[in-house]
Amino acid sequence: MVHLLANPSGSIFAPPDGDTGTNDMLSYLPATENFLGIPPDKSTSTAAIAIQPIPLERTTSYGKGTKDGPREILRASHYVEFYDEEFDRELCFERGIATLEPLPLKKLPIEEALALVEARASAILQAGKFCVGLGGEHSITAPLVRAHAQKVPDLTILQFDAHADLRIEYDGTPYSHACVMARIAEFLEPSRITQVGIRALSKEEASFIRSAGVRTFFAHAIRRGDAQWMDRVLEGLSEHVYITFDVDALDPSIMPATGTPEPEGLTYSECIAIVKRLIETGRRIVGFDVVELAPIKKLHHPNLTAARLVYKLLNLAFAHDRSGKRASRTRRIAR
More confident residue, 17 or 313: 313
The helices-and-strands tally (H runs, E runs) of the chain is 10, 8
Q: Is the pLDDT of residue 1 over 80?
A: no
Check pLDDT > 80 for residue 327: no
For residue 325, name the pLDDT band (cuts at 50, 70, 90): low
Round to whole Å and give the CA distance between 316 and 335. Answer: 26
Q: Give the number of other Cβ atoms within 10 Å of residue 56's Cβ.
A: 29
pLDDT digits over 88-100, tens only?
999 999 999 999 9
pLDDT at position 321: 85
CA–CA separation, 102 vs 57, rounded Å? 13
Name residues whose C-beta falls within 8 Å of residue 235's C-beta, 6 or more positions apart in sequence.
Answer: none
Neighbours of 281 (CB within 10 A): 11
Stretch 140-157: mean pLDDT: 98
| Contact (CB, 8 A) for 133 and 289 | yes
| Residue pair 164/209 in contact by the 8 Å Cβ criterion | yes
Instruction: Give the list of residues 6+ apart from residue 89 with CB closer than 8 angstroms, or none.
Output: 83, 315, 322, 326
- Taking only the tens place, the pLDDT of each residue in 220-264 is 999 887 778 999 999 999 999 999 999 999 999 999 999 999 999
pLDDT band at 23 (very low <50, low <70, confident <90, very high): very low
Average pLDDT over residues 46-64: 93
Q: How far apart are CA 287 and CA 227, in angstroms?
A: 28
How sure is the predictor about 186, in pLDDT bands with cuts at 50, 70 and 90? very high
Give the pairing of strands 215-218 and 130-135.
unpaired
What is the average pLDDT score of the chain?
91
Q: What is the pLDDT of residue 61?
A: 80
Is residue 194 a contact partner of residue 275, using CB atoms and an 8 Å limit? Answer: no
Residue 8 pLDDT class (50, 70, 90 cuts):
very low
283-324, pLDDT tens digit by residue?
999 999 999 999 999 999 999 999 999 999 999 999 998 654
Helix (H, G, I), strand (E, B) or coil at 243: strand
Indicate the burial class of 54 (C-beta count within 10 angstroms; 0-12, 13-18, 19 or more): buried
Burial of 303 (0-12, 13-18, 19+ CB in 10 A): buried
Coil, helix or strand for 288?
Answer: strand
Residue ranges and CATH numbers for the domains of the chain are 28-321 (3.40.800.10)
pLDDT at position 63: 82
Residue 117's Cβ-side half-sphere holds a number of Cα atoms within 13 Å equal to 32
Average pLDDT over residues 145-159: 98
SS3 212: helix
Q: Among 144, 107, 100, which residue's Cα sits nearest to residue 122?
A: 144
Tell me what percent of the chain is helix, strand and coil, each rounded to the nearest 5: 35, 20, 45
Higher per-residue confidence, 142 vs 14: 142
Three-state SS letters, 32-90: CCCHHHCCHHHCCCCCCEEEEEECCCCCCCCCCCHHHHHHHHHHHHCCCCCCECCCCEC
Query: pTM here?
Result: 0.91
User: Which letter does DSSP use for residue 163 in this model?
Assistant: B
Q: What is the mean pLDDT of residues 41-69?
A: 94
pLDDT over threshold 50, residue 195:
yes
Percentage of residues in the chain with pLDDT exceeding 90? 84
- Distance between CA 90 and CA 274 in Å, rounded? 22
Is the model's pLDDT at 165 over the cut of 80?
yes
For residue 325, report the phi and psi dihedrals to the nearest 5 degrees. Answer: -80, 150
Q: Report residue 56's pLDDT band, with 50, 70 and 90 as the boundaries.
A: very high
Q: How far apart are CA 266 and CA 269, in angstroms?
A: 8
Predicted local confidence at residue 100, as pLDDT: 98
- pLDDT score of 58 more than 60: yes
pLDDT at residue 83 is higher than 60? yes
pLDDT in tens, 111-131: 999 999 999 999 999 999 999
How high is the pLDDT of residue 151? 97
Task: Please tell me the predicted confidence (pLDDT) of residue 264.
Answer: 95
- pLDDT at residue 256, rounded to an integer: 98
